[in-house]
Structure 1
Amino acid sequence: MVNEDQLPFMLKLLDDKEPAIQEALREEFSDTSGDLSNEIAALAIDLKPADHQRLSELLLPGRRETLVHEWRVPQGGADALDEDWDSFEDLLRLISDYLHDGVTLRPALPDLLDMLAEDATAAKADRSENKLRFWMFESGKFVGNKDDYYTPKNSDLSWCMDTGLGNPISLALLFMLVARRLDLEVSGCNYPGHFLARIHLDGKPMLVDCFHRGRLISVEEILNENKNISPYAKQAILSQAPLGHIMLRILRNLEHSFNKLKQDEDAKIFKLIFESMQP
């Protein structure tokens, strides 16, 4: 475990090229939770970019251990999440903490969501699902990360709120989680290949493409105009995506993203977590 009194001296050794020094640092920093952001902020230490990156790498084993240790598989697997929003959000927090660098200080995911909901209220976007959609997406506050679609960071909701970027599922989740705080009804649509959100507008169900600035899609029109739509896609359009199914999709996305980056250990972790969530 890293001693806070020793931390300033250890940080000064980050750029030391001596193999024995680097091995000692690796052992010390791996025996942490993987996040020293509070300690570093308290010391008012401004790390050079290279040292920042090196420290994050040294802390990664600790973040891996924390994720595996704290992940709680519901009895019955993903299906048991159902409408358990508290457990669902806690798992999203664990993913967010894991994908963070462990060095930069930032609020916890629930606090960031609370602040986003407060901003929406101040902007009077809490008056309807459609006003919230406009405020979050059509305004350009949140947009699809087209330039780096497969980065694992897209699954870090805290990062998404900080940058205004995300993939289809992360942006839809922000919409859903903020709406829930405002007593609005927004659900998920587990459409194959492109996750969507669902709201009602003038009593009619509408799909929201959060990735493309909140574009509205009429459920009625998409069913009438696509006669060859698959049974799976039709079921997704007509029903609310269960929270457990959403979580499984996130885990699969992360496994795929880390495989593309050839980060085999991280990909394996999310593969194993995915398998553990099976009923």
Structure 2
Amino acid sequence: MPRTASIDALVTLLDDPDAAVQAAVREELATCGPDDLAALRKHIRSLGEAEQEALMDRIQPLHFDMVQRAWHAVLDSDTPDLERGALLLAWYRYPDADLHGCQEQLDAMAASFQNAHPGLSGHRAAMELADYMAHELHFTGNKDDYKDPDNSFLNRVLKRRTGIPISLSVVYLLLAERAGIKAYGVNLPRHFIVKYQDDQHEIFFDPFNDGQPMDRGDCVRFLLKANVQPHPQHFAPAPPRSILLRMARNLLMWAKQHDNIQMQSELMQLMAPYDPSIEASE
């Protein structure tokens, strides 16, 4: 629960010109959680328009600090949590996003699938989930506006039921986990997909194209057509950390294309410790 009284008091100090006061406010806000920050934003929105803009600008670095600490906690883990990392990227761009609501949506979607297919397991469950996601939940690739950054934020993907290959694949993986299906992300160059694998089956799925099933030969033909020489690593399960970094890299490309200097700097700070090709800028 947000600490309403102390949060409201902090608002009155946010624009204090005293550096010592600002340092104390920053230190206090560093102990806040998402609910506290949401309460702070709500309070600011009750103020006049000019005051709102100034104060929102002041708390943006505080919000990013909070995102950054949580993000590094996820990626520094021995077993990074894909769901938490994807939600943190959404929260980075949408500070008021209902992250708990996103998880509840995923819970409800997985439950509806399991209710529709009781007792189904293994490769048949993986295939049915791909079909269910496309034709019952109506997730589809955003081919009309592929470069829209909202295609990469989990909250927006869940709301609009559209995205790019990696974000739709993440939705599939999160639903599969809830349904007890062992599925993996696959870092195929230029087109992220998912796969199910057991002792007898290896099936790839393309959530961007209505969950279309593919075999390894289909993937090889795709790579050759894209002038990429197939390599065994292309078909290996993608660790959560690499999935999250690929999502962040897509956003970094968008920020560079649109000259969003602040977003570039922040994303590079998130990525730099894990990607040697990225040099963080302050």
Q: Under a length normalisation based on structure 1, what TM-score does the superposition of the two structures give?
A: 0.71
- Aligned pair in 2 of structure 1 residues 95, 183: CA closer, same or farther (>3 Å)? same
> Is 1:207 matched with 2:200?
no
- Per the TM alignment, residue 111 of structure 1 is displaced from its structure 2 partner at its CA by 3.2
Three-state SS of the structure 2 residue aligned to 1:208 is strand
- Aligned pair in 2 of structure 1 residues 40, 165: CA closer, same or farther (>3 Å)? farther
Identical-residue share of aligned pairs (%): 21
Q: Determine which of 191, 196, 212 is the counterpart of 2:193.
A: 196
Cα distance in 1 for partners of 2:187, 2:107 equals 25
Q: Determine which of 150, 154, 157 is the counterpart of 2:154.
A: 157
Q: Residues 239-260 of structure 1, C-alpha deviation per residue, up to 9 Å, x if partnerless?
A: 1112222122112112112222
Matched-pair contact (CA < 8 Å) for 2:134–2:211 = yes
- Per the TM alignment, residue 195 of structure 1 is displaced from its structure 2 partner at its CA by 0.6
> Is 1:275 matched with 2:269?
no
How many residue pairs end up in the alignment? 257
Where does residue 115 of structure 2 map in the other structure? 122
Q: Determine which of 75, 89, 95 is the counterpart of 2:89.
A: 95
Three-state SS of the structure 1 residue aligned to 2:147 is coil
- Per the TM alignment, residue 269 of structure 1 is displaced from its structure 2 partner at its CA by 1.1
Q: Determine which of 91, 95, 107 is the counterpart of 2:100.
A: 107
- Per the TM alignment, residue 68 of structure 1 is displaced from its structure 2 partner at its CA by 1.8
- Aligned pair in 2 of structure 1 residues 225, 71: CA closer, same or farther (>3 Å)? closer
Three-state SS of the structure 1 residue aligned to 2:213 is strand
- Per the TM alignment, residue 167 of structure 1 is displaced from its structure 2 partner at its CA by 1.1
- Per the TM alignment, residue 173 of structure 1 is displaced from its structure 2 partner at its CA by 0.7
Matched-pair contact (CA < 8 Å) for 2:165–2:207 = yes
Cα distance in 2 for partners of 1:276, 1:68 equals 12
- Aligned pair in 2 of structure 1 residues 227, 67: CA closer, same or farther (>3 Å)? closer
Matched-pair contact (CA < 8 Å) for 1:114–1:181 = yes
Q: Superposition pairs for residues 1-279 of structure 1, below 5 Å?
A: 4=4, 39=39, 60-72=60-72, 81=78, 84=79, 87-102=81-96, 105=98, 107-124=100-117, 127=120, 128-139=125-136, 141-200=138-197, 203-223=200-220, 230-231=228-229, 233-278=230-275
Matched-pair contact (CA < 8 Å) for 2:189–2:234 = no
Between 1 and 2, higher relative CO (CA 8 Å, sep ≥ 6) is seen in 1
Letter in 1 for 2:172: F
Moved more, 160-169 or 198-207: 198-207
Cα distance in 2 for partners of 1:98, 1:126 equals 38
Any unmatched runs of 5+ in structure 2? Answer: 9-14, 17-21, 277-282
Q: Residues 136-178 of structure 1, C-alpha deviation per residue, up to 9 Å, x if partnerless?
A: 0244610112233223322221221111011110100110111
- Aligned pair in 2 of structure 1 residues 227, 141: CA closer, same or farther (>3 Å)? closer
Matched-pair contact (CA < 8 Å) for 2:169–2:194 = yes
Matched-pair contact (CA < 8 Å) for 1:93–1:110 = no
Letter in 1 for 2:146: Y
Letter in 1 for 2:144: D
- Per the TM alignment, residue 265 of structure 1 is displaced from its structure 2 partner at its CA by 0.9
Q: Residues 98-142 of structure 1, C-alpha deviation per residue, up to 9 Å, x if partnerless?
A: 12252x656354333222212222332872011111010244610
Matched-pair contact (CA < 8 Å) for 1:130–1:201 = no
- Per the TM alignment, residue 179 of structure 1 is displaced from its structure 2 partner at its CA by 0.3
Cα distance in 2 for partners of 1:220, 1:270 equals 36
Cα distance in 1 for partners of 2:82, 2:3 equals 34
Where does residue 280 of structure 2 map in the other structure? none
